[in-house]
Amino acid sequence: MKLPGPNPLPSLQGEATWLARLVEAMTPAEVAAVVAAFAHDLAGCLGAVVAWTGSGLPRACSSRGLVPDYAHIERARALLASNPRGPVHEGQELVLRLPPQERAFLILELERGQAPEPLLVRLEPFLALAGPYLQRALKLADLEDSHKQLVRSEVLQRALFAISDLAGSELDMPEMLRRLHGIVSTLMYAENFFIVRSDPQQGTMRFIYYADVEDTDAPDTSRDVPLESLRDSMTWHLLTGGKALMGSLDQIRRQVSGTFAPSGPESVDWLGVPMLRDGQVHGALVVQSYQAGIGFSEDDRALLEFVGSHVLTALERKQSKDELEERVRLRTQELAQANRGLQQEVLERQRAERLQAALFHLAQLATADIDESKFYERTHAVVGELINADNFFIALLSPDRKKLVFPYYVDAGVRKAQERPLGRGLSEYVLRSGRPLLAFHEDTLALARQGEVDLVRVGRPAECWLGVPLRVDEEAIGLVAVQSYTPSIDYDQADQELLTFAALQIANSIHRRRAAVSLQRAYAELELRVAERTAELRQEIAERERVQSQLQHEVMHDALTGLPNRGFLRDRLERVLAILQREPGRRCALLYLDVDRFKVINDSLGHLAGDAFLKEVARRLHDCVRDPDVVARLAGDEFAILLEDIDIPATAIAVAQRVLDALGVPMQIAGRELAPSASMGIAIGDGSYATADEVLRDADIALYRAKEQGRNRYELFDETLAKNVVDVLMMEGELRQALVRDEFEPYLQPFCRLEDGAVVGYEALLRWNHPKLGVLGPADFLRVAHDSGHIESIDWRLFERGCERFLGLDDQSTFLTFNVSALHLRHGDFDARLVRLLERTGLPPSRLIVEVTEGSLLDNPEQVRTMLERLRAIGVGAALDDFGTGYSSLSYLHSLPLRMLKIDRAFVHALGEEEHTTATTVVAAILALARALDIQVIAEGIETPAQCEALLEMGCELGQGYLLGHPAPVGEWLEQERDAD
């Protein structure tokens, strides 16, 4: 990494010229350039570097021929630290301090064999003159930086006071947002500025303020929109990512993950920060520039993030105030409405009593032993008790729903029965709309102008007409209506409500009377239908026998490919094995194959493409065999080929290779060219097999081995494969017994201070005290434990016993760590369960650190971050294990609540060896980054003194490895503590 600094100065002639140059130099860089140029022109000097500390950062200026970097500067600083009294000469390098001595020094590269004394004689007088100038320039630079910080702090304080004042002001929200824009403009360039509010629970967002000089298609600021409607935009990434984005489009594209689809005019520079509350994103502030030369810095980003939290508070206070005022207004209206409601209650109860009596009478009419004419007369009388019903009729739809039948019609005192085809009358309008209609004369004329009714069909116009549909099971069967021809008699909404209630009971009564008539008719039709049904059943039986024959074929064949299925294959294989029992010299072969990566095809191209793919695979497999060999589809992407008669196993192998070659030919599916492959297991059947399941089992074992060996290949079953399967099954049973017998034990490996070797903590490592094989490490059984589902129970046993054993150590200042796999982090209650374990064992949370790897964070990094935050809140720390080997280490460092990180052993092993500067640079960078983030660092896998010494020189404090201590039971560490005492 090259250090910042001006270009080397040319050589100057004459002491007066050097002094004049010093007088003209105003900045530390200018003074350092004069000193470096002076030193470089001395005889015997090949190059010079002046290094100093300014604004908290290391800086340097070099002469011609020498390019400094951080490693060079740090090495020179270490030489001076080892000899504080005077210049240090090592090899061809001479290092001496410059006034002020605590902040600057000079590095000279000498010619080979050049003694330092002649150069020091020339240098020291000049350096004595240059020192005050450098000290003055450093002080001026410090004052300028301090002044800039004070001015910026004052502007920020005024802005925050202004934002706070706006939150309590009487301004409406649009004016308040405009003034917020003005405040942000005082802090940075904000001509193009917008504010977004989001609701994490509802998944919505709104642009509540938007100002942009280039964007002519501004978003709607009056309503919320789904957050997904802006998916992959910069605003979407800002709200979902929860971290600031800054820079040009290309720079922001590198800051986000996934698809990136910006919208709107392209800006030269874009800066957006989220507004957070309790770790959740509730909005964002965004500024952007369309002018070259106008952009944003890291200071602007930090400033806008700080201002964003105050803006969010101001917006929430303003919103809460507006909501409170609205609630007061609504409550006042509710109280007034309640008062009016009490006044209406007496009237409503009186009307309810009349309505209840009328409904009771109507219900009695449904079962009364009266004819239809008397039924309608009494219905008319009951309705007349509720509302004026001088002019009243009931109309019903005919069975074919083409006519309107009036079984009861009274108009102007005259009763008549009639019917007519459906037309455009008011009655038909009610039936079409399915809703009650209250129409005055003007309303009827309006419906006529709209083409809904025909005035000719309406006939004599009524001053007021009220009709309600009669419904049975949500279907209109007719209507009941009343009408008035005099202005003094009209109807209102209360009358409409009464008639609606009555209509419900009238419709029910009509339906029940119709049902009784239909029931009688149904009894007469039942006998006829029984005879007809008997004839139909005879036909159905014949059809069922035909279908059963077809089903017999479908049951034994795959519906998609038409190939025989697993049942067919088992039957055929059983028959072949029976033949082999009678003829011991014969053999058969079963080829069990699984299409590689079929799930990827299904997920990427869809199930229709997957079906087409399987059909083509089936066709190619069928072309590779001859009769009577069988190709079957067993399930999903699994197929099998039964070769009924083979001479030697080589015949089956030849067929297997022919199948692999045929499948390897590319095919066109859904517009894509796919190159399929398959893994295949081969089992040779002979008289030793008793059942088809045994052959299928052995072929499946060989198939599993083929997948383990890399896919797109075949494996022939032998006894070695069978033994391996038995061993795995045996180990699964032993693992279950080990959990019951509590055979798992934590071994502790220490973390030590590299400076003095003192133990500061331990890592709990899993060991199995096998009753026959002795102590087993995780590598001997971890895969079987994971595949069998025992790994979580084993881990929790390790966690609990590790905490209990650790508490037995005398040193109470040490901490304990154990590894937490991705399997545990998928459970949302992992942290709660861990807290209960600590309470049960008595281990203080502050003494526990959980180690997670970068790979375990890939499933759901946000869930893991939230879980680690909750653990940190109670004192449990978190460590990032194997740092530097994962996918996104740097992003995890600033987003996760980490207490420490562990440098992977791959980098540590390379330290102390020749020509491994890459590992040294990486470790040094990790240490610098950790110090900047205030995270402890532990180096893993320290095995040699050279590695330990290299880490100490780079400033690493803690380490772990066999050089410092092997994993051992707790008892051994207790004995060491007693020996130390």
Query: Which tens digit of pLDDT belongs to each residue from 430-452?
Result: 988 889 999 998 888 888 888 88
From 887, 883, 886, 864, select the one nearest 933 (Cα to Cα). 883
The torsion of the CA quartet 133, 137, 140, 142, rounded to 10 degrees, works out to -130
Structure confidence at residue 64 (pLDDT): 61
Structure confidence at residue 13 (pLDDT): 47
Q: Structure pTM?
A: 0.38
- Taking 70 as the threshold, does the pLDDT of residue 622 lie above it? yes
Percent of the chain surpassing pLDDT 70 = 92
Q: How far is CA 204 from CA 39, 183, 263, 304, in A?
A: 66, 27, 19, 23
**Spatial contact of 204 and 198, defined as CB atoms under 8 Å apart:** yes
Mean pLDDT of 298-308: 80
Task: In whole angstroms, give the CA distance from residue 683 to residue 680.
Answer: 10
Band of the pLDDT at 7, cuts 50, 70, 90? very low
**Torsion-angle region of 473 (φ positive above 0: left; ψ -120 to 50: alpha; else: beta):** left
- Taking 90 as the threshold, does the pLDDT of residue 632 lie above it? yes
Averaged pLDDT of the chain: 84
**Spatial contact of 717 and 684, defined as CB atoms under 8 Å apart:** yes
**Spatial contact of 562 and 630, defined as CB atoms under 8 Å apart:** no
Band of the pLDDT at 133, cuts 50, 70, 90? confident
Structure confidence at residue 9 (pLDDT): 36
The contacts of residue 483 (CB under 8 Å, 6+ apart) are 391, 411, 462, 464, 465, 466
CB-based burial label for 474 (10 Å; 0-12, 13-18, 19+): exposed
Structure confidence at residue 186 (pLDDT): 81
- Taking 50 as the threshold, does the pLDDT of residue 60 lie above it? yes
Band of the pLDDT at 907, cuts 50, 70, 90? confident
Mean pLDDT of 821-842: 89
Give the three-class secondary structure for 466: strand
Structure confidence at residue 552 (pLDDT): 72
From 789, 864, 862, select the one nearest 820 (Cα to Cα). 864
Band of the pLDDT at 916, cuts 50, 70, 90? low
The contacts of residue 971 (CB under 8 Å, 6+ apart) are none
- Taking 90 as the threshold, does the pLDDT of residue 933 lie above it? no
- Taking 50 as the threshold, does the pLDDT of residue 98 lie above it? yes
Torsion sign, CA atoms 539, 542, 544, 547: negative
> Going by DSSP bridges, is the β-strand pair 192-199/204-211 parallel, antiparallel, or unpaired?
antiparallel
- Taking 70 as the threshold, does the pLDDT of residue 727 lie above it? no
Instruction: Annotate 45-67 with b (16+ C-beta within 10 A) or e (fewer).
Output: bbbbbbbbebeeeebbbbbbebe
Q: Which has more pLDDT, 346 or 400?
A: 400
Task: In whole angstroms, give the CA distance from residue 477 to residue 397.
Answer: 6
Structure confidence at residue 57 (pLDDT): 59
Structure confidence at residue 1 (pLDDT): 33
Structure confidence at residue 12 (pLDDT): 41
* DSSP state for residue 557 in the 8-state scheme: B
> In the numeric block, which tokens belong to residue 66?
């020498």
**Spatial contact of 285 and 311, defined as CB atoms under 8 Å apart:** yes
For the ranges 591-595, 876-880, 915-919, the lowest mean pLDDT is seen at: 915-919
For the ranges 151-155, 656-660, 731-735, the lowest mean pLDDT is seen at: 151-155
Q: How far apart are the first and last CA of the chain?
A: 48
Structure confidence at residue 377 (pLDDT): 86
Structure confidence at residue 6 (pLDDT): 36
> Which of 125-139, 141-155, 339-353 holds the top average pLDDT?
125-139
Band of the pLDDT at 3, cuts 50, 70, 90? very low
**Spatial contact of 682 and 591, defined as CB atoms under 8 Å apart:** yes
Percent of the chain surpassing pLDDT 90 = 22
- Residue 438 pairs in a beta bridge with 466
Structure confidence at residue 976 (pLDDT): 82
Q: Which pLDDT tens digit goes with each residue over 247-282?
A: 988 888 888 888 888 888 888 899 999 988 888 888
3-state helix, strand and coil shares in percent for the chain, rounded to the nearest 5: 50, 20, 25
**Spatial contact of 365 and 508, defined as CB atoms under 8 Å apart:** no
Mean pLDDT of 530-546: 82
Structure confidence at residue 726 (pLDDT): 47
Q: Which has more pLDDT, 96 or 913?
A: 96
Structure confidence at residue 14 (pLDDT): 59
Which helix (H) or strand (E) segment holds residue 61: the answer is strand 57-62
Q: How far is CA 831 from CA 847, 867, 874, 899, in A?
A: 16, 6, 10, 17
Q: How far is CA 484 from CA 405, 413, 429, 456, in A?
A: 21, 12, 18, 18
Structure confidence at residue 103 (pLDDT): 78
